[in-house]
Amino acid sequence: MNHADDLLPHALQPYWDLALASVQAEALQLALQEGLFERLASPCTPETLARVQDWQPETTRHWLALLWSMRLLDRNRDAAGEWHYASTELARQYLATSSALYCGEAWRFRLASLRDFGAGLAQGLHKQGLHEQGLHKQDVHKQSRSTPLASGERWALAARGHLAREQVAVTAPAACELVSRRLAHKAPWRLLDLGGGPGLIAVTLAKMFPQMSGVVFELPEAAEVAAQNIVEAGLASRLEAQGGDLVTDTLGTGFDLIWCSSVLHFVPDLSACLAKLHAALRPGGELLCVHAEIPDEPEAARRMLSYYLPLLWQGRRVTQAGELREALLAQGFEVCEERPITLPMAPATALVARRRGN
């Protein structure tokens, strides 16, 4: 007897899955819009939920079943055979607005921005689309290298919104885990959080390491957001936010550790930037360089390219696997650790690069 689990998927199944994923994305978007994960904090039948919310019972039943299949809802059947649905722990933790780790709006922002980019792929590919804007390929590349991806105002808005949520829920815990492997809790040390956005990674590290002090360096408008978060956390005596331009402004010197996450995609001269970071460290200090690189294996590369294609489309830098390590070595760093690390949307590689000396 044949079983479904014994069937090998058709070669086209990965591409059929692309189409199916659009329905799943809409189902999740609707759940966030309707506040479903708060409503299902306690188990409820589809019929009861539909009656309270004035929804269609039959479609509600199928929608909840899809979300269950996506591991966003749990379900149990009562003695009468009725399904009772409730939010999973994951949904309560990250997708319920009452949670301190809520990332629902951040997810919706990512979905909308990637859809907008996808809709413009053809325009970016065809020469005609560039000529209509009065730009040749070389001009587009030069312009994207010299013009920030977003204005300071837009970056500040992101720092107040999805970046803050993702830092708290995803990046800060990853940073704490990595830093705790490198530094002792009791010894004093200074941090430079480069391109720190809302500054919540520095805030989280400062709470974890009482002897830490440091600087969050960002575009001026975003640095104001970081400064506000530092004050609200009661850490103004140990942390400061510095607004500036990474290319033209000084960073200071004598730092024990520099946290640099997804910043090097945007700098015009990678070698010059790494030399600047090398000079900002004390001898023996470490750069925690956390960036996505494009792997050589197709499946892993697909995850990277699906998210980072918009940057590449604009002429930004996403290095091939191993290139960033070579660039660090060329600037005199000693690369003493390399490990995968979780960032929003796509995994990254954390390179721990030490400035030689004592």
152-355 to CATH, choices 3.40.50.620, 3.20.20.10, 3.40.50.150, 3.60.15.10: 3.40.50.150
The per-residue pLDDT for 301 is 93
* Cβ burial 257-269 (10 Å sphere, 16+ → b, else e): bbbbbbbbbbbee
pTM: 0.86
* Sheet of strand 212-218, all strands in order from the earlier edge strand to the far edge: 239-243, 212-218, 189-194, 255-261, 281-291, 348-355, 333-341
The per-residue pLDDT for 124 is 86
Token pair 């004035």 in the structure block, residue: 54
Helix (H, G, I), strand (E, B) or coil at 92: helix
> Any idea where the domains of the chain sit in the sequence?
9-94, 106-146, 152-355
Which residues pair with residue 320 across a beta bridge? 294
Catalogue the long-range contacts made by 101-106 (C-beta closer than 8 Å, 24 or more residues apart). 101/165, 101/168, 101/169, 102/165, 102/169, 103/162, 103/165, 103/166, 103/169, 103/170, 103/344, 104/32, 105/32, 105/161, 105/162, 105/165, 106/161, 106/162, 106/163, 106/165, 106/166, 106/344
9-94 to CATH, choices 2.60.40.10, 1.10.10.10, 3.40.640.10, 3.10.129.10: 1.10.10.10
The per-residue pLDDT for 4 is 60
Kindly give the residue spans of alpha helices, DSSP state H, lying in the chain: 13-33, 36-39, 46-53, 57-69, 89-94, 104-119, 121-125, 127-132, 137-146, 152-160, 162-166, 172-182, 200-208, 220-232, 270-280, 298-313, 323-330
**What CA–CA distance (Å, rounded) separates 13 from 7?**
12
The per-residue pLDDT for 147 is 43
The per-residue pLDDT for 139 is 38
Tens of pLDDT, residue by residue, the chain (358 residues): 556 667 788 999 999 999 999 999 999 999 999 999 999 999 999 999 999 999 999 999 999 999 999 999 999 999 999 999 999 999 999 999 999 999 999 999 999 999 999 999 998 888 654 444 333 333 333 333 344 444 677 777 888 888 899 999 999 999 999 999 888 767 899 999 999 999 999 999 999 999 999 999 999 999 999 999 999 999 999 999 999 999 999 999 999 999 999 999 999 999 999 999 999 999 999 999 999 999 999 998 998 999 999 999 989 999 999 999 999 999 999 999 999 998 888 889 999 999 998 6
